[in-house]
A and B are shown apart, each in its own frame.
Chain A
Amino acid sequence: MDLSLYLNSMRDAAGLPFYPIVFQVLLVLTFALHIVMVNLVLGSSFLAVYEVSKKSEFGARLSKALGRVITVGLSIAIVLGVAPLLFVQVIYDPFWYTATSLSAFWALMFLVVITLAFYSSYGFYLGNKKSGPGEMKARWAYVAIFFLLLTALFIHMLSMEQLTPEKWKAWIISKEGFVSFSGGEFHSVSLGRLLHFIIPSFAVTGVYLMLYASYFSEREDYDSNYLDYVAKRGANLALWASVLTVASGFWWLGTIPKDFSFAQNPFFIIGAVLGIITTAYLGAAYLSPEKRAKNASILMFLTIFFMSCAREGLRMRYMNKVGYNIYNYPLNVDWPSTILFFATFIMGLFVLCFPAAAAFKAGKAPKGQIVTINPTIVRNSLYLMIAWFVVVAGLGLVISLKNGTLF
């Protein structure tokens, strides 16, 4: 059996319940959202340690704020990561399952290290809540950074192994004919690509700080000097990290097979141009970072989104090379479940307006002031949830009665 036959025969027998392009778009979009949060967490962890080392009042205050960002951001990053994890298994299942089985031990270790990273970050956040400048301890943040980097390495390795299917067999079958079932394979690490993921963490964190300063600038109980400190730190960090990201991008570009002509990929070109524009904008934004924060964040997200599209294009090139094309995946279109998801997705966006409005308004109000949320938003979000339940439970009862599965 050759590799191409193996890959295509391992596609799931049930086929896809909807067109592959839809899963691909969802995969890229949710990955972009996920990676932004991952970058924010990683960059914030490093910066929190740096700010502790400054032993200044502003440094301590910023470090505490970042402690909260790390814990909340990690939760959100994990939940956002569920979606690309799901969609990649749908259209790239032979690659995903093979690589993960070959490195089963490391796939499970990923769970251990990210749990340790999580609790270490909580240790840093909760342990320093009441500490003043000079009293803060960064040891848990160091531990968190160590485990976050390990997490990144493991996930990077699992992703890269999927791109090198022609090497899989040699990893587990010895010349004597023994097949290894250990699941301990660890291969295909690309330092250039890994750095091109880690360095943008600082750029994303920098832009976040600009947004932070901009958002709290209307709060009277926030010291404007502190916000100025945060905004400058953010703009500086975002600018230099963006420059380094571009440099690491070129390094990584050099490691990609020439025959892929990746530099001519339209998504890559758009992403690269956006990256350069973002860097230039950040340079110009240095003098008034608070005012430029929103535009900088939009540019940054667009860059990340188009780079995610380019990453997907690159994956397709790797996989086309071994005779695998997601667009000819057998179909068993299932409209009812597709409608269920998209209807729920739209409903979810409406429901999320409520917590978003609550968080936004509460954050803008000075301490001690209680804000009121628009009762229509509040009421409707709850009604939508109950309506979803009524519709699906009703549907379930009808189907169960029809199929004779209820009693």
Chain B
Amino acid sequence: MLPMLQREVVDKHGWVTQEDVLDCYAIGQCTPGVIAVNTATFVGYRQKGALGGLVATLGVITPSVIIITLIALLLRGFASNPFVVHAFAGIRIAVAVLSLMAVIKLYKSGVKGAAGNALMALSFLLRVFFSVSPVLLVLAAVILGIILEWVKGRRKAA
């Protein structure tokens, strides 16, 4: 998604600079939601304010909404077809491979040090064995981050 965005908004239209896109992308990663959508919202906002942000956001989700709606309706019509049932049983195995690899990639880039591993293990165990809500775990992580930084700041001050 990022290379395409660069081609369109930097090279073709010159709406923002290359650094702007990278900045937007970095900020898109640290605000909640879908990164590609966040990046589009930023670019739109920079160009034309809130309305620009709204239009860019709607623009980036429209193709997905149309394509996926068609596929979902189509699949529903064929859901009981035995070929489709068997095909999807095989497809789910391909998805298992893809998601396993995606998690390994995420692990390599996002989990560092003993503390990182411990946090990851804790959220994994709480989710799998105690069905703790993901919302609670995300909130706990944010609060923990704020508290740790606050304590650090106070120590420095003292």
A pairs with B: no
